A = this chain, B = another copy of it.
Amino acid sequence: MSQIFFGAPPRPSAPAGANVSERAQLPPSLAISTVIFALKPDPLANGAPTLWLPLVRRIKEPFRGQWALPGGPLTAEESLEDAARRNLLETTGLAPAYLEQLYAFGGLNRSSRPERGSQRVVSIVYWALVRATEAQLSVGGAGGDENVAWHRADTAGAGEGGLAFDHREIVDYALWRVRTKIEYAQIAYHFLGPTFTLAQLREVYEAVLGRSLDPANFRRQLKSAPQIEATDEFLEGGRHRPPRLYRYTGPLDATPGGPGPGSTQS
């Protein structure tokens, strides 16, 4: 993959030494949140796929009525990643194939409308990738919850006073992370099924990176990667010449159980 400069990463404004309210002296509590990305066709953008994520509507103050990342407290008997998985399943019904820690957010003014007596919260945020097919089943489909819905990752909460807390900054940072990581790690396959055409794979890269790629050069780069294996099958039913289906055989760069970007081979 080529080196692409995406500009400076979004930097939370990080009000480090900001005004300190007379908040309770309770120790900060811990919560887990997750940014879950899926690639879905955008009806407002010609049907081209873009990044979407599920959000939950807050039913309590602060930020009542606004959209927030799925999350919840960390219980005593589960690891951070387990907590992320459990909470994800409870709030959205999703079980992502890829899940990795993003960052720990612990600024003093994360709630920007600090209530008196409210406890300060440190959020350890994970990010996840799911396939569009899984995404359809769990949220917003039949039996879907009104308070859980998919939003476009880049514009979520735009016309509604923004997302709750500092969640807009968190999503921006997660977006920056997928975009840079897809360039050097094997994460694109988590958006796709076990077999796929090269055009589908290219669509994933184009959607995440936000620019078009040369089909010819893209094909060559993948053919030089030994982890891409051609199958004997072709995708029928298209309007034109049926493209060959491929399979990814390398390490699925799967779910880093700990720190580190999974495998890093190109």
Name the residue of chain B whose CB is nearest to the CB of A106: B80
* Measured CA separation A78–B107 after assembly (Å): 8
A256 to B9, CA, bound (A): 11
A8 touches B263 (CB 8 A): yes
Describe A's contact surface by its main secondary structure: loop
Query: Interface stretch among A13-21, A137-145, A229-237?
Result: A13-21
Stoichiometry, copies per complex: 2
Q: When A74-B28, A82-B17, A122-B74 are in contact, do A12 and B258 touch as well, CB less than 8 Å?
A: yes
Docked complex Cα distance between A21 and B103 (Å): 28
Which among B8, B26, B77, B259 is the interface contact of A260 at CB below 8 angstroms?
B8
Report how many residues on chain A are interfacial, defined by Cβ distance under 8 Å. 56
User: What mask results when residues 225 to 266 of chain A are scored 1 for a CB within 8 Å of chain B, else 0?
Assistant: 000000000000000000000000000000011111101111
- Asked whether, in the complex, the Cβ of A14 is within 8 Å of the Cβ of B106, the reply is no
Closest to A20 in B: B77
Give the chain B neighbours of A102 by CB distance below 8 A.
259
Asked if B30 contacts A103 (CB within 8 A), the reply is no
Asked if B104 contacts A124 (CB within 8 A), the reply is yes
- In the complex, the answer to whether B101 meets A256 with C-beta atoms within 8 Å is no
In the bound complex, CA of A23 to CA of B120 (Å): 25
Chain B CB within 10 Å — which of A79, A81, A259 has the most?
Answer: A259
Contact across chains for B122 and A5 when beta carbons are under 8 A apart: no
Whether B27 contacts A76 by the Cβ 8 Å rule is yes
Q: Nearest chain B CB to A265's CB is how many angstroms away?
A: 7
A264/B27 in contact, CB under 8 A: no
Bound together, the chains give a CA A104 to CA B30 distance in angstroms of 11
Contact flags A18-62 to B (C-beta < 8 A → 1, else 0): 001001111111100000000000000000000000000000000
Task: Identify which of B20, B80, B108, B265 contacts A5 (C-beta below 8 A).
Answer: B265
Are A11 and B120 touching (Cβ within 8 A)?
no
Is A10 an interface residue when CB atoms closer than 8 A count as contact? yes
Q: Which 10 A-B pairs have CB atoms at the shortest separation, nearest pair first?
A: A9-B260, A12-B258, A80-B106, A14-B257, A103-B259, A14-B258, A104-B104, A173-B259, A104-B124, A11-B258
